[in-house]
Each structure stands twice: as C-alpha cells, then as structure tokens.
Amino acid sequence: MTAGLRRHLRIVGYVIGSLRRRWRKNAAVVGVYGLVIFTLASVVFLTQSLTQESVASLQSSPEIMVQRLSAGRHGLSPVTDAGALTQIAGVGAVAPRRWAYLTDPATGETLLLRVAEGGRLREHEATAGAEVLRRRGLAVGGTLSLRGDAGEPLALTITGVAATSTPLEAAALITVSETAFRALSGMPDGQAMDLALRVRNRRELPTIAAKIGESHPATRPIIRDDLVRTYTALFNWRSGVIVASLLVPVLAFILFAWDKAAGLSPDERREIGILKAVGWETADVILLKCYEAATVSLAAFVLGAGLAIAVLVLPRPPAVLPVLLGWSTLYPSFRPAPALGAYQVATLFFLTVFPYLVATVVPAWRAGTTDPDLVMRG
Amino acid sequence: MRLRRSAAFGLLVAMLAGLGLLAGLDAARRHSIADARFAAHRALARWVMFTDPALFTDARYTRHPSLADRHSAFQDYPLALEHFPSGTLIVPPAHLAGPAPGSGSRPR
C-alpha cells in the first residue's frame, strides 16, 4: 500500500470518528438533505416512468391514426373511408378500429372496450386485463356485469386474461365480441372509432398526413411520432411545474446547508486548531473537510434516492403521481412500471451533491489556513 | 444627524407597510371601477349561455370543465394519457370522480 493511499485511508477513518462524535447534528443534516433529494428524485423518477409508459403504450400503435371531426369534436369514422385512404401512395394498410371508453357503473372509472381481433370471442364472452379481474375479484369463468348503451345490464363470461403490455392496459382493458361491443358502446354498424394506417417509410409520415388533410378536410391525422414527442415534452413540463413549486423548500435547504457547511462551530474550530498543532497540514485539513462533506452528501443521496426508488414499487402511490397524471386519474388507478435512467440519476446527483461539496471547499480552506494558536484560544 | 440603525430599519418597515396599504387601496379602487365591465361580461355570459369562466383555452375539458365527461381527455388513441398543460392546473370536477349516476353504489 502506497503512503499516499494510507494517508487518505487514515483521514477517512478520522472523518468517520469525527462524524460519529457529532452524530446528532450530522443525522439532522442527512435527514433534511435526504428529504429534499427524495422529493426531487420522486418527481424525476416518476416523470421518467410515465414517459416510458406512454411511449410503451404507443409502441404497438399504427404510424398514423385518422379521426373524423364532427362539430369540432372527435366523431365516428365510416368504415368506407378506408378505401380512399389505401389509394394514397406510401400507405401500406388501413384498418378501421373499434374501441370505446366505458364508465364502470360501480366505480366511475374509465375502462377501455375493444373488439377482439379475428372474432375470437362469442357474443357473451370477454377477456380482461389481469388487474381489471383482480380488482373485481373475478377469475376466468366468472361473470363481468356491465351496463349497455341503453342502460340494460349485460353479463359477460370471462374466458381468459387479455394480453397487455402496460400497467394501465392491465387495469383498464376489456375485449369483447363485436355484438357485445355495439350493445355496450352504441356504435352503429359500418362505423369505427378511427382508422389505423400502416406506413412503411417513416420519412413519408408528414407528407401522407398532409395529403390526408387535403383530401379529407373533415378528418384529423395523428402521427404516432408526434404523440411520443408531445408526451416527452408534457411530462418534462409537468415535472418542471412541480420542481418550481418545490423551489421554496429547496432554497430553504440550500441556506441551511450553506450555513452548516460554511460556518464552523467553536468545537470544530478547536478541533482543527489541535490537528494543526499536532502537525496536520492545510492540505490535510481541507481533505478532511471535503471527505466529511462527501460522506454527508453521499449518505443523503443514497437515503433520498433509495427512498424514491422504494416509493416507485410500494403499493401506495406517491403523492406527486396525481399531479403528473392530470386528468388521467380518471382511469383506474395504476402504477407506471418503474423506469430509472442513468441520465436522470446522474443529473440528480450533480444537482444535489455537487453544490454541497462546492459549498464546503471555501470554509475548509479558511479553517485550514487559520493559525492554530489563535483558534485554540477562541 | 446620523440615523440610528434601528431607526433606519423601522423606517424601512414603515415604508414597505405604507406601500402595501397603497397597493390594497389601489386594488379596491380598480375593483370598484371594474363593476361596469363585469356587468357587461355577465350579460354576455347570460346571452351566450356560458357554463364556465373559461380560465384556460388549450383543452376543451379544462375550458369548460362542467361539460367534460370521463372520456373527453383521452380521445387521441385508446388509453391515451391526458396531455394538455392545463390538465395539471385544473383537476377533474368532483362529479366525474365518483361512481356513475344511478349506479346505486356508494362513492369511493
């Protein structure tokens, strides 16, 4: 072991002893510091999780969705529109999609109804997401009671668990036969909710969307890539709003940290004086203070970020989730799959740990250059 | 004569309090002269049968929350997440949060 490394290890050993001697003060700093990091980390991690959730939900979506507008609102699309859209150069296939939202009469939650592909289900059969079944205490073979468009009760036999790719789908999806779908949604024959366009060349998407807009003025083409960009920008904006509202407690903490890091207590001054008197050099004292700050800030970071990760997987949803979700709280409650990116963790680390370390360098240097005799006399 | 520090501080506080009071008086004055404008707005709102004060203009469900339904925020594609900025600032109205009317179930 080299002499340099031994010196560092000894200083670290001393730091640990020193922190233990003043454990009450240090525990308070780590606690408050950790709480601030936890709050910021919760927002950052949840934003990442929700962005990934929305991107994942769009993964299997068609490249372009065409909706008909009626009186400025989303209306039903005639299935016959598909033929004209197929003629547009670059469009691979056009499929009318039958889906609708349904309000669960018991809970008021918004569920998604879809017609099973390939007519797999018979009239009174349905499959549902695993979470839909769990929350209703249903198993395969059980009966799901819904209310039809005209208010009549409709009982569907669960024949299986629907394949889902996101937690929201698992909590809200019900697939039914076409007959049951019409009874539940009231959608007339020959109509669809929208038309799904498959396009092979992604670079042609804006041109095709523009052509649709020109040839079918009463429709609205939605490009999937635009939606992905919208969601990324949206969740960043919402997390920005939350962080801005947290600015006051964060600033209060910065003041508190600055005060703790910059102002040395009489005990600490005496300690530094003694260290210098017994032969420690200025560089050693600065190193000591830097290691102290690094230990405190790393402990707070691990505590705060660790709690934020734990909250992502705990059964109780984090308090900031409804703010990020906005009106999506009308869906059955769901937890986005936890998503942690190295970029988010690194940003959080840089924004929380680095300022604390910088704040301690100047007072450490001032303390290190003080005359030991002067300090010990007080 | 040199002003004592305590007197200077007292003066500053008194000055700020005076400014605060003036701001309050000004707000009251502006409010009283705006009555005529408010009356015209009220008449217009009655005439066009407005349902909400339309605090936001981006999404129709936040512009007229009383006319929103449980599905209006998710129309882009199946299980779309709500994505307008004002969706964070105005929460769904209370009548959308509970069970559907006539379901006979207790609110959650």
CB-based contact, A122 to chain B, within 8 Å? no
> Which residues face A68 on adjacent strands?
A75, A219
Task: Report the alpha-carbon distance of residue A251 to residue A257 in Å, rounded.
Answer: 10
How many separate domains does chain B show?
2
Residue of B nearest to A333 (CA): B97
Stretch B69-73: mean pLDDT: 88
Q: Where are the domains of chain A?
A: 3-57+232-377, 62-223
Residue A298 has pLDDT above 60, yes or no: yes
> Which residues face A127 on adjacent strands?
A160, A175
Residue B32 domain-assigned (yes or no): yes
Q: Identify all chain A residues contacting B77, using CB atoms and an 8 Å cutoff.
A: 58, 61, 65, 194, 222, 227
Task: Report the mean per-residue pLDDT for chain B.
Answer: 84
pLDDT band at B23 (very low <50, low <70, confident <90, very high): very high
pLDDT band at A117 (very low <50, low <70, confident <90, very high): confident
pLDDT value for A253: 78
Identify the H or E element spanning A96.
strand A91-97
Task: Report the mean per-residue pLDDT for chain A.
Answer: 86
Stretch A323-339: mean pLDDT: 87
Instruction: Identify the weakest region by mean pLDDT among A24-33, A66-75, A192-201, B94-103.
Output: B94-103
Task: Report the alpha-carbon distance of residue A20 to residue A8 in Å, rounded.
Answer: 18
Q: What percent of chain A has pLDDT over 70?
A: 97
CB-based contact, B20 to chain A, within 8 Å? no
Give per-residue pLDDT as tens, A127-177: 999 999 998 888 999 999 888 888 888 999 999 999 888 889 999 999 999
Out of B71, B76, B97, name the one closest to residue A227 (CB). Answer: B76
Task: Report the alpha-carbon distance of residue A55 to residue A58 in Å, rounded.
Answer: 5
User: B85 vs A105: CB contact, 8 Å cut-off?
Assistant: no
Most confident of A202-216, A278-292, A354-368: A202-216
Residue B2 domain-assigned (yes or no): no
Residue of A nearest to B86 (CA): A326
CA A369 remoteness from chain centre: 47
Please check whether residues B12 and B41 belong to one and the same domain. Answer: yes
Give per-residue pLDDT as tens, A337-362: 888 888 889 988 988 888 888 777 77
Q: What percent of chain A has pLDDT over 90?
A: 30
Out of B61, B77, B108, name the one closest to residue A327 (CB). Answer: B61
pLDDT value for B106: 33
Out of A73, A101, A105, name the one closest to residue B74 (CB). Answer: A101
pLDDT value for A377: 66
pLDDT value for B100: 59
Please check whether residues B44 and B65 belong to one and the same domain. Answer: no
pLDDT band at B103 (very low <50, low <70, confident <90, very high): very low
Residue B67 domain-assigned (yes or no): yes
Domain carrying residue B37: 7-48
Q: Identify all chain A residues contacting B97, using CB atoms and an 8 Å cutoff.
A: 108, 330
Residue A45 has pLDDT above 50, yes or no: yes
Please check whether residues B68 and B41 belong to one and the same domain. Answer: no
Task: Report the alpha-carbon distance of residue A205 to residue A187 in Å, rounded.
Answer: 29
pLDDT value for B99: 67
User: A107 vs B70: CB contact, 8 Å cut-off?
Assistant: no
Instruction: Identify the weakest region by mean pLDDT among A84-93, A243-252, B74-83.
Output: A243-252
The count of residues in chain B is: 108
Q: How far is B58 from chain A (nearest CA, A)?
A: 13
Stretch A24-41: mean pLDDT: 89
Question: DSSP string covering A224-289, please?
Answer: HHHHHHHHHHHHHHHHHHHHHHTHHHHHHHHHHHHHHHHSPPHHHHHHHHHHHHTT--HHHHHHHH
Residue B38 domain-assigned (yes or no): yes
Residue A305 has pLDDT above 90, yes or no: yes
CB-based contact, A168 to chain B, within 8 Å? yes
Residue A232 has pLDDT above 90, yes or no: no
Q: Identify all chain B residues contacting A50, using CB atoms and an 8 Å cutoff.
A: 81
Q: Identify all chain A residues contacting B88, using CB atoms and an 8 Å cutoff.
A: 238, 241, 323-324, 326
User: B76 vs A108: CB contact, 8 Å cut-off?
Assistant: no
Interface test with A, best of B62, B64, B77 (most A CBs within 10 A): B77
Residue of A nearest to B60 (CA): A73
Residues 51-90 of B with CB under 8 A from A: 60-61, 70-71, 73-85, 87-88
Please check whether residues B14 and B38 belong to one and the same domain. Answer: yes
Task: Write the ipTM.
Answer: 0.77
Stretch A84-110: mean pLDDT: 88
Residue B1 domain-assigned (yes or no): no
Residue B108 has pLDDT above 50, yes or no: no
Pairing of strands A64-70, A194-199: antiparallel
Listed residue (A287, A285, A308) closest to A369, CA to CA: A285
